[in-house]
Chains A and B, each alone.
Chain A
Amino acid sequence: MPRFLFTCLLSFLSLCAVADESSNADVSKLAADLKSADLNVRRDAAYALAALGPAAAAAVPELTHAVKEDRDDQVWTQATTAIARIGAAAVDAAPALVEKLNDRDEQITFRAQWALGKIGPSALPVLLAALQDPDARRRVNAARALALMGPAVESVLPDVVKLLNDDSPEIAGQVAGTLSSFGAVAVPELQKCLTHKHTTVRAAAANGLIAFGPFEPEIQNSLVQLSKDDDGAVRAAAVRALAKAGLPGNDVVAMVLSALRDDVDVVRAAAVVSLKQLDRDDKHTIPGLLFMLNSEDDKDRSAAAFGLGMLGSSAVTALPQLIAMLNHNDDAEAAVTIKTISRMGTVAVPVLLAASAVDQQRPDRISSALAAIGPAATPALAESLSDSAVNVRVAAASALGNMENVPSQTLPSLAACLKDDSALVRRSAAATIGRSQTGNADVIAALLAAATDSDAGVRAAVLLAVASVRTKPEDALKILGPAIEDENPIVRESAVAGLAKLGESAESLLPKLILALLDSTPGVRRNAANAIAALKSRASSAMSNLLPLLKDPEPDVRGAAVAAVGVIKSEDAEVAAAVAELLLDSSGDVVQSTLTALRELKNVPPAGLKHVTDLLKHERSDIRASAVRCFVGLQKDTSARVPVLIEVLEDEDWIVRRDAMDALGDIGGEAQRAIPKLFQLMSSEADQDSARSAVKDIDAAGPEAIPVLRQELESSDRRLQYYAVFLLGKVGPPAADLLPELKNLRDDSDSKRFKEAVQKSIELIEKKQHSVGDRQG
């Protein structure tokens, strides 16, 4: 038996030796492959070696070579990873990695730092030398690599600290940022940094200290001073550190609340973060914020409301005061308060509803606050629809309507509210049902039944709702038709607005709509024009009735009438002339509508085109944009269009410029004079898409473009270079002077596609040049 066991043991050891030899052979082969001329072979080898971990140690020389020499990103990254995974045994690679610590690519410097960190203390000699390198980036990144080794190399801290004397604030700040990685031993150095001359160092030190709180009184005092620093980033770091400083609750809360009012947003954000941290452990925050809420200074009140909002439901004790603030006149402050309340969630719902029962409260703002809480408030609001207090029922119904989506489960209750004793409740319920756009047959039936409500306000809300939900058109018309002649103007206005929503389904009521154009109430006339517009070409018989409204005393009515004329369309010159007069209207909105309408009309008089051209310089950008589109539709003469559009390319508004670029692209080759300006716009993020599109569509360039195109040949943006090359080919012989530059560009490029493009342009210039020469010869 022992002989058998011995034999087994021998066999096993032999197998291990064979396996070992085999894996050594693998590593050797992979190491050799790292120098292959075939990129894929090198990549595969690098990946494989990285996967081997310490077993790849024999390949360190080749891996080091790859780190030094290989230009492929994947090979380099995997070679570095392999070295990192080998660890201390790869110490010979450390100098090569240190060389990379000043690379411009952050990925490379990070990987190099990481790999050096993994090699560990055996890399100390080269890293300590690197701390004195003439190159600042290498010094900083060496410090970072040491920091990755953490407390294990705390002895090097004095050498790192020397770098804090660097003249560059950026470098010194980055070094300060590494100190905390060395552990608690760095705290005294961090403390000294709190009074450093560079703001970057002070900020980094305060941030670094956060991990080591609470602090001794001396550090606490320094942080308190720092919270009043001139520099915002320093104040922000100090405020964050104060939350961990261990100061008495009242004191630190006061400082943090003061930071909440800071002019610099990063300081305010830091204050919020500190508030959230303090609130976990400290009971002074909420009282402090409540105190601020009572300040006479509205900045204080806003800051306090904002801070309470950040604390969310834990600040619920502030609710009564916040609700009282809803009555303040300032809309902006009210909006902050509404948001604050909404963050408290469902705990705020009963308090808000109770407040709504008090007559002095602003019901619209209460309703907004309830809605802002969102779907979580739905059960409480649904229940409140049957509350004994009218104001509560109104607030609940309104709030449901103000939500992003009216909760469908509340619709039956809302339908029941259409029979409420209070007209206010009935009105709110109808409006909310309208916003739901429901198709629920029972709810729609309840709505239709409410159309004859005794209260005019309710009838008006019901009519709008009928048109907004999925009522059958014939049922809606039965209700809306008679209501056009209601004695109450609000009801008539809503009836006509409802018909506008029905669109072409309302055609049978065209005669009544035409009569409504003469209504004494401007809102009815306006809505009638809108409803007629919704009928589109089916309302052509109403054109003669619309034209007088172009001179209506109310701008809203004139705007609706001209829009309707544009939708219905006409080829009548008189119609176009009447509309063109509105280009001089005193109301910008009317002018806007007129520009849109004119595009749909034929036989616009010359005066109209002149007015449109003048409007290209209007003070309102939306009018200028509409003017561009209208101008393009009216001005048929390309030679007259192009210069005007090129001038519009100077507009300050990107939408106006975009519309001009689109128009130039549509013109095509005849717009080639726009190329220089379009090239300029290609460098702008807002314009580049439209500019490129226009250049492609124009697909031509003249000699005037040469200076710009020459400049773009040197652009760092390959796409711009490509366009420049392409268009120079289109320019032809006048671009012959650029042939040497083009040839250099072709020869220097390593992109096959780009070389081909340049060559093609060269051939075009030379061919055309030769053709011209031949003709001359």
Chain B
Amino acid sequence: MNPPRQKRNRSSLTRRNALRGLGLSLSLPWLESLAPVASAAAAAAARPSRMAFIFVPNGVHLPSWTPETEGYGFELPYTLKPLQPVLDDLLVISGLTHDKGRANGDGPGDHARSASVFLTGAQPRKTSGADIRSGISVDQAAAQAAGHATRFASLELGCESGRGAGSCDSGYSCAYSNSISWSSEATPLGKEINPRSTFERLFANGQSAEMDKSQELRLKLRKSVLDFVSEDANRLQKKLGVSDRQKLDQYLTGVREIERRMESASDSSTIETDVDYPTPEGIPEDYGQHIRLMCDMLVLAFQTDSTRISTMMFANAGSNRSYKQININDGHHELSHHGGDAKKQAKIRDINRFHIQQFSYLLQKMKATPDGEGNLLDHSTICYGSGLSDGNRHNNENLPVLLAGGGNGAIDTGRHLRARSETPMCNLFMSLLDHFGTPVDYIGDSTGQLPGLSL
């Protein structure tokens, strides 16, 4: 006699985490209805932490960056003003240093060093050959300990292409200028700069023949990924509670919105192409739009728990891109060597602010994305900065650094924190790794953790 068939109820379902269709696996955000009842409360209360690092090149105009007062209740200076909507989630940190970004006897090559050292704190070997050497970056230190829990151990994104070999800066390999993530001393990780490719990667099911067919059909018929998973989505909707139906709806709307923006980016644009930066298909001609789409990918990746660790380079080290969208036709790197010229400094300040506007977009989007009981930003730590402080002086002390997000309650935000002069930036990374649950003995040139970061 067969045992009686067990009645399946929602509470005994394991969490389903994707909608499926031809060549697609559309990861889902956290939905309480799908979690086993006993663990739902615990899981919703303890969402996993996420961590991301954003790099901008050529330093900043410090007088317009550094708040005048320390502690709580500070005023945002000109460059940081676009972050007003997320001021309470922000920690401005002054005084951190990357000593290994200095020449230390190796001569010129400040830009390449600044990118290489940004997340590693290690002095890179001066070479344009294959014998590159730096150190393990903080994101990879975390990924190696915790990356197994997600589909992708980490996600490396960027907005500017670049060679991985050859000399890019005074005898330093392009690998140093164009990468900030290093999985080992000799292994820089390439970054994805194409939003469409990133999107496909996030939502592909791993079956390459199916994926190719799916993409071909979607592009040919101008269909959305949602069209391919609609049957599965409809089936799922019936099993969800009211609140989760709304969440799913909001999420799918967001995915469709991103697809539409990618499509319109691929269509011909009225914005003048910058001939120095030819854009392959799938990459928007408008630089701001490009950055925002890549930010959307990062949010999607975190929201669907595809990964919990990411890096993004808004531009490569020493980037000389112009910023026509804010009426600046000069090259960024050229301007950064302002020599005290007030007009050039004003332009640099505006470029810095442009970058901050994109960062603000990312943070506001994360803040508006539900994640368990709270939002994605509450459960994340996003570090933004540059490996150079003043782009004109090429110095590596008092670096411009921002930390956003509560890190699941670990970071005390809404302040300006000034570290003691020459405090290694790697001390911040030590603290972040500790909060993330992946502590290490040291990273780069760390001398301990950064005091005053948390409650």
Contact = CB atoms under 8 A, between A and B. Distances in A.
A110 B71 contact: no
B249 interface: no
A73 B84 contact: no
A661 B99 CA distance: 32
A723 interface: no
B123 A689 contact: no
Contacts of B424: 107
Contacts of A107: 99, 424, 445, 447
A653 to B, nearest CB: 14
B84 A110 contact: no
Contacts of B415: 269
B43 to A, nearest CB: 20
A551 interface: no
B392 interface: yes
Contact of A690 (B71, B340, B445, B455): B340
Interface in A743-762: none
Interface in A667-698: 689-690, 692-693
A10 B446 CA distance: 48
Nearest to A240: B455
B447 A106 contact: yes
Contacts of A106: 422, 447
Given A114-B441, A662-B340, A73 B123 contact: yes
Counting chain A residues whose Cβ lies within 8 A of the other chain, the interface size class is 35 or more
Contacts of A114: 441-442
Interface in B401-423: 412, 414-415, 422
B393 A310 contact: no
Given A73-B104, A269-B72, A312 B88 contact: yes
Interface string B334-346: 0000111010000
Task: Name which of B72, B342, B412, B445 has the most chain A CB atoms within 10 A of its CB.
Answer: B72
Contacts of B133: 47
B70 interface: yes
A74 interface: yes
A343 B455 contact: no
Contacts of A196: none
Interface in A54-87: 73-74, 77, 84
B448 interface: yes
B364 interface: yes
Contacts of A73: 104, 123
A149 interface: no
A419 interface: no
A339 interface: yes
Contacts of B71: 265-266, 268-269
Nearest to A375: B85
A298 interface: no
Interface in B41-85: 70-73, 81-82, 84-85
A192 B422 CA distance: 33
A693 B338 CA distance: 10
A301 interface: no
B185 interface: yes
A631 interface: no
A404 interface: yes
A273 B340 contact: no
Interface string A256-274: 0000000001101100110
Interface string B429-441: 0000000000001
Task: Name which of A74, A309, A343, A692 has the most chain B CB atoms within 10 A of its CB.
Answer: A74
Nearest to A274: B455
A658 B340 contact: yes
Interface in A27-68: 43, 47
Contacts, number: 66
A528 to B, nearest CB: 29
A119 to B, nearest CB: 13
B287 to A, nearest CB: 20
B84 A374 contact: yes
Contact of A277 (B414, B442, B455): B455
A306 interface: yes
B339 A693 contact: yes
Contacts of B84: 374, 404
B448 A110 contact: yes
A107 B339 CA distance: 33
Contacts of B338: 689
Contact of B447 (A74, A110, A266, A339): A110
A106 B415 CA distance: 27
Contact of A343 (B88, B392, B448): B88
A68 B158 CA distance: 43
B99 A689 contact: no
B206 to A, nearest CB: 33
A43 B414 CA distance: 43
A310 B72 contact: yes
A763 to B, nearest CB: 24
Contacts of B185: 47
Nearest to B426: A107
A467 B391 CA distance: 39
Nearest to A658: B340
A693 B415 CA distance: 36
A310 B104 CA distance: 43
A689 B84 CA distance: 31
Nearest to B69: A265
B208 to A, nearest CB: 36
B91 to A, nearest CB: 13
A74 B126 CA distance: 13
Nearest to A243: B455
B256 to A, nearest CB: 18
A73 B339 CA distance: 32
Contacts of B340: 658, 661-662, 689-690, 692-693
A602 interface: no
B364 A375 contact: yes
A310 B455 contact: no
Nearest to B441: A114
A276 interface: yes
Interface in B264-287: none
Given A107-B424, A273-B412, A277-B455, A306 B85 contact: no
B357 to A, nearest CB: 10
Contacts of B445: 77, 107
A374 B364 CA distance: 11
B399 to A, nearest CB: 16
B99 A272 contact: no
Contact of B412 (A74, A276, A306): A276
A114 to B, nearest CB: 7
B72 A306 contact: yes
Of all A-B residue pairs in the complex, the 5 with the closest CB atoms, nearest first, are A110-B447, A689-B340, A374-B85, A690-B340, A693-B340
Interface of A: 43, 47, 73-74, 77, 84, 106-107, 110-111, 114, 118, 265-266, 268-269, 272-273, 276-277, 306, 309-310, 312, 336, 339, 343, 374-376, 404, 658, 661-662, 689-690, 692-693
Given A114-B441, A273-B412, A343-B88, 14 more contacts: A43-B125, A73-B104, A77-B445, A268-B72, A269-B72, A276-B412, A276-B455, A306-B73, A339-B73, A404-B81, A404-B85, A662-B340, A689-B339, A689-B340
13 contacts: A74-B123, A77-B445, A106-B447, A107-B99, A114-B441, A276-B455, A306-B73, A374-B84, A374-B85, A658-B342, A689-B340, A690-B340, A692-B340
